[in-house]
Chain A
Amino acid sequence: MIKVQGLTKRYARTVAVDNISFEVEKGQIVGFLGPNGAGKTTTMRVLTCFLPPTAGTATVAGFDVLENPHEVKKHIGYLPETPPLYPEMEVSEYLTFVGRLKGISTADIGRRVAEVTERCAVGDVRSKLIGKLSKGYRQRVGLAQAIIHNPDVLVLDEPTAGLDPKQIIETRELIKHLAGDHTIILSTHILPEVEHSCQRVVIINKGKLVATDSVENLTNRLRGAEAVALEVASSNGPLDPAMVQQRLEQVAGVSRVLPREMKEGRLAFEVESLQGSHIRADLARAVVNAGWNLNELRTVGLSLEDIFLQLTGAEKNPAPATQHPEPKEA
């Protein structure tokens, strides 16, 4: 349904998207994952024919975005990051306007507006001014606007950004319901979002494609490895951080040990394990056997940053063992 090949978008000084290729099958929900500024919005804007690519091609429903933008636009529904709403319009008036713009005939428009207002649960604010709506309702009106012409492809740019938890769940459910009829691309920088709604993930960082994979594979890859926060203290005298680190590294299954914080004889580390190994018990034993006190031991979820680092294979700058400076007395 969507085919992107070697897509590059350059602005005056920066390269926003650098040689990205991926494909999306019909009926799939694809999550576009990346930190802010990764190039998600730019890619979506190219797909929706808002911006032309600098190099490479993108086709939507078989039409090229450069050669046949008019046809592409007919097959795409787009919800930008801030929903494109006119505050001075009423909800149903706005949806009618957008529907007409998207080419729905006067005969069908009433039915379509009724359908999408019901589907996106905005019926109770039908005759309210958009400017008076809450953020959650605005987002839903934005979504209704995107699906009004029943497009084959839906492009949603951070559809849950800025919503409260209840609204996030509602929006996710709504998006799930839309799948099947539509091929959906949604961007986000929140990992659980992808796990909840998507079948495939496209991960980009700094304009470059990091990985495309199914959500299952990705989560397996992440679940295998474990990160553990650990705090060690000594009952008698100060500890040598290097020695503790060395001891921890010797535990079977540990891939690396990162010193986190050192203060008043307490040493904090973050320990990452190899795929598939459970190291907590061994770690605890190692610490106790060495005669130290184990103050804390807890699993920490891998942050998005860690995932990127794992996937790109880049080396994390080891966080410097921050010695809290003693307050100097003047």
Chain B
Amino acid sequence: MTNVWIICRKELKSYFASPIAYLLMAFFALIFGFGFFTATRDFVRFGFMAQMQGRNMPMNVNEQVIRPLLGFASTVALFLIPMITMRLFAEEKKTGTIELLMTSPIYDWEIILGKWLGALLLYMCVLGMSAINIALLFAFGKPDWKPILIGYLGLILQGGTLLAIGAFISTTTKNQIIAGGVTFFVCLLLWLLSWFTAYDSTGYASVVNYLSIVTHFEGFAKGVLDSKDVIFYISMIFFALFMTSRSMESLRWRA
């Protein structure tokens, strides 16, 4: 486990030694801030309208501001994840430092887990930028904090899945651009899967729908912690990391 932590810390250091970490955080803060601004503005307008019409409309910050914002964040994350994972293995393969890792007395799974954890921690830092906005809601309102926590857990699980897939793709090439591009395409595809089958209820459609990353997030966004969704994400993470370790092993045989 020490080795996992050594690798993880090294990954985090490389992220923060280059502009990529700050760029991602700034980019996400900007976009999320924009989403936050729109969501709260609409919420306030809606409140005024309800008052002026003299009708007593049910107003709920969690339902009307936070839930759509979490969904928004999960979509934005799809675009950020390729930028986090593309360098994970591709860069080391290109510069030859993978030879150092693979000839050190540590196991492949320790390398993979360390790298994935590093990426996940960076992703959490990026997500953390949204906490500024959420804190504002707590300053001016009384949202329920439990669904928010569950929502963030969902974001982390969804991100962890896509990061694991990205890590796998990064082991297959020396070229970071290709790794990033393919990861982006796969993320997009997993997201779009739920669109293809929106009005379809055949058995095949339900399988495709099940595989869509986004459908499993909806429950989390509502603040519902469903073990079915948690298991989906965790098993996907395991599967993708397993594929990564297979791919790394094949490096040795092909290299």
Q: Which residues of A contact B (CB under 8 A)?
A: 12, 45, 48-52, 70-71, 73-74, 76, 78, 80, 82, 84-89, 93, 97-98, 100-103, 145
How many angstroms from the CA of A282 to the CA of B14 in the assembled complex? 69
How many angstroms from the CA of A93 to the CA of B16 in the assembled complex? 14
How many angstroms from the CA of A88 to the CA of B18 in the assembled complex? 8
Q: Is the CB of A51 within 8 A of B255?
A: yes
Q: How far is the CB of A323 from chain B (nearest CB, A)?
A: 48
Name the residue in B3, B95, B98 with the highest tally of chain A Cβ atoms < 10 Å from its Cβ.
B95
Q: How far is the CB of A182 from chain B (nearest CB, A)?
A: 16
Q: Is the CB of B99 within 8 A of A88?
A: no
CB closest chain-A residue, reference B17: A88
Answer whether A102 and B104 are a contact pair too, CB < 8 Å, given A50-B252, A88-B17, A88-B18.
yes
Q: How far is the CB of A297 from chain B (nearest CB, A)?
A: 48
Q: Is the CB of B97 within 8 A of A101?
A: no
Q: Which residues of A contact B101 (CB under 8 A)?
A: 101
How many angstroms from the CA of A87 to the CA of B106 in the assembled complex? 22
Q: Which residues of A contact B246 (CB under 8 A)?
A: none
Q: How far is the CB of A330 from chain B (nearest CB, A)?
A: 51
How many angstroms from the CA of A87 to the CA of B253 in the assembled complex? 28
Give residues of chain B (96-111) contacting chain A, Cβ–Cβ below 8 Å: 96-107
How many angstroms from the CA of A299 to the CA of B69 in the assembled complex? 83
Dominant secondary structure of chain A at its interface with chain B? loop
How many angstroms from the CA of A74 to the CA of B106 in the assembled complex? 9
Q: How far is the CB of B246 from chain A (nearest CB, A)?
A: 15
**Residue from B14, B96, B106, B254 within 8 A of A84 (CB atoms):** B96
B13 at the interface (CB under 8 A from A): yes
Q: How far is the CB of B215 from chain A (nearest CB, A)?
A: 39
Answer whether A101 and B253 are a contact pair too, CB < 8 Å, given A49-B103, A73-B105, A145-B100.
no
**Residue from A52, A70, A76 within 8 A of B252 (CB atoms):** A52
Q: Is the CB of B97 within 8 A of A86?
A: yes
- Supply 8 A–B pairs (Cβ within 8 Å), ascending by A: A51-B255, A73-B105, A84-B96, A84-B98, A89-B17, A98-B100, A100-B2, A145-B100
Answer whether A88 and B14 are a contact pair too, CB < 8 Å, given A51-B252, A52-B252.
yes
CB closest chain-B residue, reference A83: B96
Q: How far is the CB of B12 from chain A (nearest CB, A)?
A: 12
Mask, B72-105, CB within 8 Å of A = 1, is 0000000000000000000000011111111111
Q: Is the CB of A101 within 8 A of B252?
A: no
Q: Is the CB of B14 within 8 A of A50?
A: no
Q: Which residues of A contact B17 (CB under 8 A)?
A: 88-89
Number of interface residues of B (CB under 8 A): 26
Q: Which residues of A contact B6 (CB under 8 A)?
A: 97, 100-101
B10 at the interface (CB under 8 A from A): yes
Q: Which residues of B contact A80 (CB under 8 A)?
A: 96, 99-100
Q: Is the CB of A84 within 8 A of B100?
A: yes
Name the residue in A84, A85, A88 with the highest tally of chain B Cβ atoms < 10 Å from its Cβ.
A84
Name the residue in A45, A70, A86 with the highest tally of chain B Cβ atoms < 10 Å from its Cβ.
A86
CB closest chain-B residue, reference A94: B10
How many angstroms from the CA of A74 to the CA of B103 in the assembled complex? 9
Q: How far is the CB of A295 from chain B (nearest CB, A)?
A: 50
How many angstroms from the CA of A74 to the CA of B14 in the assembled complex? 26
How many angstroms from the CA of A160 to the CA of B136 in the assembled complex? 60
Q: Is the CB of B103 within 8 A of A78?
A: yes
CB closest chain-A residue, reference B255: A51
Give residues of chain B (1-50) contacting chain A, Cβ–Cβ below 8 Å: 2-3, 6-7, 10, 13-14, 17-18
CB closest chain-B residue, reference A74: B105
Q: How far is the CB of B88 from chain A (nearest CB, A)?
A: 13
Answer whether A85 and B97 are a contact pair too, CB < 8 Å, given A51-B252, A97-B6.
yes
Q: How far is the CB of A12 from chain B (nearest CB, A)?
A: 8
Q: Which residues of A contact B3 (CB under 8 A)?
A: 101
Q: Is the CB of A48 within 8 A of B105?
A: no
How many angstroms from the CA of A101 to the CA of B4 in the assembled complex? 10
Q: How far is the CB of A56 from chain B (nearest CB, A)?
A: 16
CB closest chain-B residue, reference A97: B10
How many angstroms from the CA of A261 to the CA of B113 in the assembled complex? 64
How many angstroms from the CA of A98 to the CA of B101 in the assembled complex? 9
Mask, B118-159, CB within 8 Å of A = 1, is 000000000000000000000000000000000000000000
Q: Is the CB of A76 within 8 A of B103?
A: yes
Q: Which residues of B contact A145 (CB under 8 A)?
A: 100
Q: Is the CB of B105 within 8 A of A70?
A: yes
Question: 19 new A-B pairs (CB below 8 Å) besides A84-B97, A86-B97?
Answer: A12-B254, A45-B255, A49-B103, A50-B252, A50-B255, A70-B105, A73-B105, A74-B105, A78-B103, A82-B95, A84-B99, A85-B95, A89-B17, A97-B10, A101-B100, A101-B101, A101-B104, A101-B105, A103-B105
Q: Which residues of B contact A74 (CB under 8 A)?
A: 105
Q: How far is the CB of B89 from chain A (nearest CB, A)?
A: 14
Answer whether A73 and B103 are a contact pair too, CB < 8 Å, given A86-B14, A100-B6.
yes
